[in-house]
Amino acid sequence: MEDTKTIETVPEKEQLSNFIRNIIDKDLASGKHVKIITRFPPEPNGYLHIGHTKSICLNFGIARDYKGICHLRFDDTNPTAEDVEYVDSIMEDIHWLGWDWGEKLFFASDYYDKLYEYAEILIQEGKAFVCDLSPEEMNKMRGTLKEPGQESPWRNRSIAENLDLFRRMKAGEFAEGSKTLRAKIDMSSGNINMRDPVIYRIKKAHHHRTGDKWCIYPMYDYTHCISDALEGITHSICTLEFEDHRPLYDWFLDQLPVPCHPQQIEFARLNMTWTVMSKRLLLTLVKEGYVSGWDDPRMPTVAGMRRRGFPAAALRELSERIGVAKASSTVDFELLQFCVREELNKTAKRVMAVLDPLPIEIENYPEDIIEYLPAENNPEDPSSGNREIPFGKHLLVEREDFAQSPAKGWFRLAPGAEVRLKHAYYITCKEVVLAPDGSVEKLICTYDPASKGGWTNDGRKVKGTLHWINRDTAVSIETRLYSHLFTIEDPMAAEEGKTFLDYLDSNSLVVKQAWGEPSLLEAKPGESYQFLRMAYFSCDPDTQPEKPVFNRVVPLKDSWGKKAKS
């Protein structure tokens, strides 16, 4: 990774105001801070999903806009859930999204020694104790949401005994679950997090970075605030469910001789219609084979969306458009689609492909001639240039572009109707050839030689413009048609006896053979196309050049089709 790739790779944009930026503006104005340092702190226990992009763009975006720094820190304090596969994928995904942490890559596990020292300080000051309660006993004594808890019988051990016991915990003398180190706070607090929380537990597990050096591991609440302080984070931005943890975050930092005291700020996490965002449920999909992997194009993971063809710029754009606030909300999936279309409209090459072919014979066109007609690659981008597409006597058009008895307002092909073939000629349907079963087998048409390029000067009004493919030069391609991610509206509100798996869209993936113009053989993996009048497609990263595979990214907006459906 060349280090010229900095967070400046993401262009600056005018930022909408939000309450976090307001706080930072005040801190800068008051002189509380001169340089803003944020951090994105994932636990490496799964792949990043669309929900994480909000946090990533928020933290890295703030660093960019305030000329600050955003650290990447892996919150790897639970070795039993974590894996290097995940740290690698997370780094790759963040880079793909266009952000870079430069030299500022950290792991909570880098702080294990320091964290341990601080724990001994807590013990020495009588603010932490070794507790022999079993998990069940501790749970019982914690009290309930409405009733206070009871103090552990081990709460008043001497400092010397606590220190001795804690050192022996570290040395591996005790079994998992037999002892914990707990902060001595307040068992009657209304905030359950303050009821003598566990700060170290015994886990005789191999850690993906520290190996077998440790058999005691610090808990999140204890680790996170200290890690932030050690790194000089100014604003520790996290999601709403940690609001209750803020008093504990502040408590640890107040007790310990840490270099600074970052401010924790909470915001509402991203929820999206049609989308499962729970790591646990996504892991189930992968583990039980409902999808091909974390990067299956139906997955709401960053890797899945990349594979499907969503541009990184679109995900960034979404993150900006949804805003940042404290009210829990669910963003409409339509907004993501809009961001994708908006980006692809500017960048995707226009190309012709027919997904469900209906043969056409141009009766007045010579059998043995193929002519090449110029076509623009993208009308939104003149610099994208032109290409030439072959035209001949035998063509294929989209079956749904022909209607034997057209409805009112139909201006595509119908018996006797004249339409324009994009970039080519006007044609008129002269005859409909039916198969024995009554279905349409092919159409016999005539073309108007004077309309070459799709235009005449005689003022003729031809409103319908169809995409088409020359039969004999058609390239066979494969398309994967995906529906909206893959779930029903609210998989979490499943009925009694059903799991979210019962709500998966079983038609979420349809693979179809299709025919395209020859230029599609030159498609590069990851490159996006607009298959004219159909949808945006992206050349799959795993595709073979001889047989390109295209993932449908999002459908084009089609108001006529919508009306027709309803």
Partner RNA sequence: UGGGCAGUCGCCAAGUGGUAAGGCAGCAGGUUUUGGUCCUGCCAUCCGGGGGUUCAAAUCCUCCCUGCCCAGCCA
Residues 129-148 that bind RNA (CB under 7 A): 133-135, 138-139, 142, 144-146
How many chain residues are in contact with RNA, going by CB under 7 A? Answer: 92
CB 58 within 8 A of CB 41: no
Active-site residue (options: 127, 155, 209, 269): 269
Residues 170-199 that bind RNA (CB under 7 A): 176-180, 190-193, 197-198
Which residue number, 19 or 372, has a Cβ lying nearer to RNA? 19
Task: Assess whether 342 carries a catalytic annotation.
Answer: no
Task: Assess whether 533 carries a catalytic annotation.
Answer: no
DSSP strands (E only) in 58-118: 69-74, 105-107
How far is 161 from 165, CA to CA, in rounded Å?
6
- Name the one residue in this structure whose structure tokens are 């890797």: 303
Query: Among 342, 478, 490, 505, which residue interacts with RNA (rule: CB under 7 A)?
Result: 342
Q: Give the up-direction half-sphere exposure of residue 24: CA atoms within 13 A in the CB hemisphere.
A: 25
Q: Which stretch binds RNA (CB under 7 A): 119-127, 363-371, 480-488, 550-558?
A: 550-558
Which residue number, 307 or 420, has a Cβ lying nearer to RNA? 420
Burial class (CB in 10 A: 0-12, 13-18, 19+), 72: buried
Which residue number, 108 or 539, has a Cβ lying nearer to RNA? 108
Minimum Å gap between C-beta 186 and RNA is: 11
Token couple for 428: 């008129």
Residues 288-317 that bind RNA (CB under 7 A): none
Which residue number, 426 or 486, has a Cβ lying nearer to RNA? 426
**Max Cα-Cα span within the chain:** 102
Token couple for 172: 């591996």
Minimum Å gap between C-beta 542 and RNA is: 27
DSSP strands (E only) in 18-153: 37-40, 69-74, 105-107, 128-131
Query: Among 217, 486, 515, 529, which residue interacts with RNA (rule: CB under 7 A)?
Result: 217
Contact between 154 and RNA (CB under 7 A)?
Answer: no
Active-site residue (options: 39, 43, 82, 317): 43
Query: Among 114, 460, 547, 557, which residue interacts with RNA (rule: CB under 7 A)?
Result: 557
Q: Which stretch binds RNA (CB under 7 A): 93-101, 158-166, 307-315, 333-341?
A: 333-341
Q: Is 522 helix (H, G, I), strand (E, B) or coil?
A: helix
- CB atoms under 10 Å from CB of 364, counted, come to 12
Complete edge-to-edge strand list for the sheet that includes strand 105-107: 37-40, 69-74, 105-107
Query: Among 13, 32, 502, 560, which residue interacts with RNA (rule: CB under 7 A)?
Result: 560
CB 219 within 8 A of CB 115: no
For residue 188, give Cα distances in angstroms to 134, 138, 385, 514: 20, 14, 72, 68
Residues 416-445 that bind RNA (CB under 7 A): 420, 422-423
Active-site residue (options: 54, 73, 157, 279): 279
Which residue number, 136 or 542, has a Cβ lying nearer to RNA? 136
Query: Among 34, 327, 369, 435, which residue interacts with RNA (rule: CB under 7 A)?
Result: 327
Which residue number, 1 or 145, has a Cβ lying nearer to RNA? 145
Task: Assess whether 73 carries a catalytic annotation.
Answer: no
Query: Among 334, 356, 448, 478, which residue interacts with RNA (rule: CB under 7 A)?
Result: 334
Which residue number, 136 or 288, has a Cβ lying nearer to RNA? 136
From 56, 497, 543, select the one nearest 297 (Cα to Cα). 543
Which residue number, 4 or 559, has a Cβ lying nearer to RNA? 559
Minimum Å gap between C-beta 115 and RNA is: 12
Contact between 350 and RNA (CB under 7 A)?
Answer: yes
Residues 468-527 that bind RNA (CB under 7 A): none
Q: Which stretch binds RNA (CB under 7 A): 295-303, 355-363, 406-414, 518-526?
A: 406-414
- The vertex-42 CA angle with 38 and 44, nearest 5°, equals 150
Minimum Å gap between C-beta 522 and RNA is: 19
Query: Which residues, including other chains, have CB under 8 Å from residue 39's CB and lie 6 or more apart?
Result: 59, 70, 71, 72, 73, 228, 231, 233, 236
Minimum Å gap between C-beta 65 and RNA is: 15
Residues 249-268 that bind RNA (CB under 7 A): 268
For residue 333, give Cα distances in angstroms to 288, 330, 486, 487, 553: 26, 9, 12, 12, 13
Phi-psi map region of 232: left, alpha, beta (phi>0 left; psi -120 to 50 alpha) = left
User: Residues with catalytic annotation?
Assistant: 43, 269, 279
